[in-house]
Chain A
């Protein structure tokens, strides 16, 4: 149980375009999801906390207008990278917690974004 599906697993886009990444909890409901970015050889950096039915909470230094987060249902959160630039190329990962359990988070398999 507690499976998180992230799609796509990789994407290449042109500079200036937008890319949407989906994060779905397949067998549980998640009121809270987290979005991370990871550069090579570095740890995961928390970008934002996504809350179902309300605005996401962004970490300091993360541009909310560039990284749009929508958590419209209890099983789906999306991250849209708008007007992508090469420096946005990174590994993006989401996670969610099954609210029926008091512990543990499940992570998606990640999305490798390359902006050319």
Chain B
């Protein structure tokens, strides 16, 4: 079964920041935290990953709690193209089961 907990849905206004939370309390010490997103009728695409430190890339930022039991994906300025289902996944021994994810709606 999935080892993550995310809100089912979130809404944001265009051009505003979005904070997508994820709880992964059973993560092991060496597992990376990955975030993917899935646009309609497409396969998931990689967004960002991290281990302990906060991470930034051109798509988003990832804030990881000190105890690593939770993380937050930050979209600094949401656009309509960011509307998607966002999944956080802590792969454990190649366990790539997905949770329900968070459906992000971006309003113009």
Contacts and interface: CB of A to CB of B under 8 A. Distances in A.
Given A46-B97, A46-B98, A110 B49 contact: no
A32 interface: yes
B41 A44 contact: no
Contacts of A32: 94
A103 B99 CA distance: 19
A95 B43 CA distance: 9
A105 B91 contact: yes
Interface residues of A, number: 24
Contacts, number: 51
B57 interface: no
Given A103-B34, A103-B49, A104-B34, A109 B97 contact: no
The main secondary structure of chain A at its interface with chain B is strand
A44 B46 contact: no
Nearest to A92: B43
A56 to B, nearest CB: 13
Contacts of A105: 34, 46, 91, 96
Interface in A2-45: 4, 6, 32, 34, 36, 43-45
B100 A95 contact: no
B45 interface: yes
Given A6-B43, A46-B98, A107-B44, 5 more contacts: A36-B98, A43-B99, A46-B97, A91-B41, A95-B43
27 contacts: A4-B43, A6-B43, A36-B98, A43-B85, A43-B98, A43-B99, A43-B100, A43-B101, A45-B98, A46-B98, A49-B94, A91-B41, A93-B43, A93-B44, A95-B96, A97-B94, A102-B32, A103-B32, A104-B32, A104-B46, A105-B91, A105-B96, A107-B36, A107-B45, A108-B43, A110-B41, A110-B42
Interface of B: 32, 34, 36, 38, 41-46, 49, 85, 87, 91, 94, 96-101
Nearest first, the 6 A-B pairs at minimum CB distance are A107-B43, A103-B32, A44-B98, A110-B43, A107-B44, A93-B43
